[in-house]
Structures are given as structure tokens and as C-alpha cells.
Amino acid sequence: MTTPKSFPEELLKTLAQYHQAHLVHWWEELDERQQDELTSQIQLIDFAQIQRLYSPTHPQKTEESPAQKAERATHPATVIRLQDRAQSAPETAQAVQAGNQLLAEGKVGAILVAGGQGSRLGFEHPKGMYPVGPVKQTSLFQILVEQLIARSRNAGKPICYFIMTSDATHAETVTYFNEHQNFGLQAEQLYFFKQGTMPAVDEQTGEILLEEKHRIAVSPDGHGGMLAALKKSGLFEVMQAKGIEYLYYHQVDNPTAIVCDPEFLGYHLQRAAEVSVKVVSKRSPDEKMGIVCDVDQKTQIIEYSDLPDHIAELTDKDGNLLHWAGSTAIHIFNRAFLEQIANDDGLLPFHQAYKKVPFIDSTGDQVSPDEPNAIKFERFIFDVLPVAETVLVYEIDRLREFNPLKNADGPDSPQTVNAALCRIHGQWLTACGVEIAEGTPVEISPLIALDESELKTRISPDDQFTAPIYLGE
Ligand code: UTP
């Protein structure tokens, strides 16, 4: 290859040193704009880090694999199960009060991660824009924002929403919010911040892949990229200045998550946890959920793909699954704890995922592989758990709170989410004395009611509704 004239000499040396000089192979064919784009992408890459992460022949043998660790997994130390809460009504009432007080004091913020590519759903826009509302086709974003607005109203204090986007979702998400006046959320309460990217490398060679001759194949760096992104965007300082000490964290794909749930906040406080995680009881040993367990006295999440079958199938003396606690990826984090981890970049490891990534081959042709050909590197936010002194593992009713949208059809699809919303809202109406036929489409905006007891204050059993039922402002 001839030395490209205007490609920075120092950078070329770096590329050569890390066996990545192929990235500028097409340099002379590129126009100036494309050359600039490629140069700035290359400047952002930490080549030493990529080399460290890609280690096909030397998979850090000294380190124990997650599957080996799983052999020592035990029950988590600090757990509150559904029946515990039901049996200790006074404690639960105190927790609700304590959570509401935190909200009223303005000590709580909410983080929504919405930077994923949503590849399984196959929707052509950011997943948060997906119309899940059974009657008004309300989007995931709108349902979640309206919950936050309603919770702020009840608390009498604005709650800030920190929404993480990525290159894949940022521009469209921000435009969508602008076009809808943020769904009623005050601009001062809304912060977008963008996560970073990581290049994809060829599984066989470790070479970084070109998606086009002037563009590197990159993807969002995982929800764990949130820590670096919060730090870089200065949002920890913003949180501090606003007196935010607790962060309710959730994912964009679950419209039935209870945003800033006061009871969860209260129990987090009462148990003096640094991190809390909402879990559901796994339906079967092979259900594809990360499990929450203790290994060497550290509470952590083991991904389902790392959990050997014989461990997943273990039962206790009553025949119940030993590792029943499936993570819903709903958390509370102490802000100071997250900040401490964000300041130590080495604490969150990168995970490798084998994926199909289209690329430009050595002859300049674009290849769309049928089989996984590349490694993507991602960080997971749940890797902060073992760093915490105390992690509260808090069981919830999955029918009420965990109905994620992941797939185009089958489980966790638009059909199941739609049915869940109709079921939950139908149950609220029934509890209010309203008779509705089974299968009636029902949608209740969070601005009308966040739960059954709030709905009771808004409607009377004599109210007449015609199907489909929509209750909104
Ligand atoms: P998933 O792991 O389910 O990924 O993300 P996804 O992008 O939604 O869907 P697939 O796997 O491509 O089909 C769980 C949550 O984490 C966010 C997603 O937006 C979703 O809210 N996420 C994921 C990020 O914010 N950034 C990432 O890099 C990855």
C-alpha cells in the first residue's frame, strides 16, 4: 500500500503497530469528506484496548469463566420476596412513605436507557417510538414519560429524566420528543446523553471491520456505557447540584415498569443498599434471563448464556428452583456509588458478542454474512453489582411489572405487551366496579392514574364506558 498523502503520519504508525492498517486501504478512492469522516472515527479508537479485548488464542486463562463461577453460586444475601411484603404490611407502608418522602425532597432522578439497536424487534425507528398503547397506539416513550410526569405531580417536586441514546437512536429520538413537546415534560427536567461506540472486529483475525470504505463498523457500547457517558456529559455534576441522590434505572422496552416506584425506593433506603434490583421468579430453569445470586459473598448477575444447565436446574429441599431470581433490569443506584465506579474505568469489564456484521472485504466488495463473523464489545450495567456492599434483591409480580418488548412475534412481542396493558388496565377498572367484557381493548394514561387506587379516586362505578376504552387527559 502506498502511504496515503494526507492521512496523519502518527496515526498511520499506530495503525501499523496494531495490525489495523487495512482501515486506510481505500484512502485514495475517498473524497475529502469521506477521508475526514474516516480519520475522525480512527482517532476515537483505543487500539490498545481493542487488542487487549480481542484475544482468540489467549482467552485470559488465569481468569475464572462465569460458568466456573456459577458453580459456587448461592442464594443472594438480601432478598425481599413478594410474600415477605404481603406479610409485613406495616413495614411496606413505611417503605412507601419513605420512598414518597425521597421523591418529595427531590432526591430521586430517573435514568432511561434507550440506545439499543432493537435488532430482534426489527422496527425501523428507535424502539422507544414503538406504538404499544392498545387503543391510542401510544409509544413506549410517551407511556414512560407520562408516568414520570404523574409521579412528579404526586410528589409535588419535578423529577429529572436522564435519557441515554446512542448514534443509532439519538437524532430521531430528540426530534421525536421535540415534535411532541416532550409529551408534556418540562424541558428543565429532560436530559439526553449519548453513549459511546465500539468497533466490531473480525472474529478470525481481530481486524476492525469497515462497514463502507470510509466508515468503520461500530455499535453502541452496551448499557454499561452509561457510566462513561454520564461522566463525559457532566451529568453527575448536574445531579449533584440538584440534590439527586438516588437513581431509578429502567429500560425503554418495558411500559409496565413502575417508574420511580416509591415502595421500591423506600425498601432500598431501609436496607441501606447501594444498588437494588427488581427480580421475578423464573418460569423454568431454561428461561432466558440473567439470574441474581451470590458468589463469594458478592451479589451479582450471571447471564443465562453463562449459566450451565445443571446449575440452572438445581432445586432446594422443597423442589423450588434454587436460582429463581431472574433480573428485570430495573434498578435503583445510589448516585455516589455510580460516580465512584465511573471514575474507575477498569471496573466494568467488556463482554463479547458474536454477531453478523456486514463488511467490506479485501477486494472491496460488500459482504453480508449468513453466520456470525464478528465480535462486538459491550459493557453491562449490572456488572456494578459485585462492587456494592449491599445489593437488595426485590421480587415483583411479573404480570404487573415485567412485560418487555423484545421480539417481532412470539414471546415478548407487540402482541404480548398489548395484551398485558389491556389486562392490567382492565383489572384496575374491574377493581373500581366497572364491568368490562373480556378482551376489551383498554388503555389508561398514567396522567389519569398510576395504579388501581389512584383510578378509584378518578372514576365511579356508575361511569359508562364504551369499548375500546381509553382514559386520558
Ligand atoms: P437489549 O439488550 O434488549 O437490546 O437492551 P436492544 O437493543 O433493545 O435489542 P436487541 O438485543 O438488539 O434486539 C435492553 C435495554 O438496554 C438498552 C436498550 O435500548 C434497552 O432499553 N441498551 C442496550 C442501550 O441503551 N445501549 C446499548 O448499547 C444496548
User: If you ran DSSP here, which 8-state letter would residue 350 be given?
Assistant: P
Pocket test for ligand 1, best of 111, 230, 253 (most atoms within 8 A of CB): 253
Q: How confident is the chain (473 residues) per 10-residue block, as mean pLDDT?
A: 71 96 97 96 96 70 80 96 95 97 98 95 97 98 98 98 98 98 98 97 97 97 97 98 98 98 98 98 96 97 94 95 98 98 92 94 96 96 98 98 98 98 97 91 98 96 91 94
Spacing, Cα 182 to ligand 1 middle (Å): 22
Read off the C-alpha cell for 55. 484475544
- 343 phi and psi angles, rounded to 5 deg: -80, -5
User: Which pLDDT does position 62 carry in this prediction?
Assistant: 58
All domains in the chain, ordered by first residue: 64-406 (3.90.550.10), 409-473 (no CATH)
The reported pTM is: 0.95
Distance 30 CA to ligand 1 centre (A): 33
Looking at residue 95, its amino acid is: A
The pLDDT value recorded for residue 439 is 87
Measured in Å, residue 222 CA sits from the centre of ligand 1 at: 7
Kindly report the protein residue whose alpha carbon is nearest to atom 3 of ligand 1: 406
Q: Whose CA is nearest to atom 1 of ligand 1?
A: 116
Per-residue pLDDT at 3: 47
* pLDDT tens by residue, 439-453: 899 999 999 999 999
Q: What phi and psi values does residue 131 have, to the nearest 5 degrees?
A: -80, 95
CB of 119 within 6 A of ligand 1: the answer is: yes
The predicted structure's pLDDT at residue 464: 87
Euclidean distance between CA atoms 245 and 407, whole angstroms: 35
120 lines ligand 1 (CB under 6 A): yes
| Span from the CA of 234 to the centroid of ligand 1 (angstroms) | 23
Which pLDDT does position 57 carry in this prediction? Answer: 47
Return the beta strands (E) in 200-274 as ranges.
Answer: 201-202, 210-212, 215-216, 218-220, 246-251
Burial class (CB in 10 A: 0-12, 13-18, 19+), 31: exposed
Q: Which amino acid is at 32?
A: E
| Ligand 1 atom closest to Cα of residue 251 | 21
CB 278 within 8 A of CB 79: no
Q: Is 115 in the pocket of ligand 1 (CB under 6 A)?
A: yes
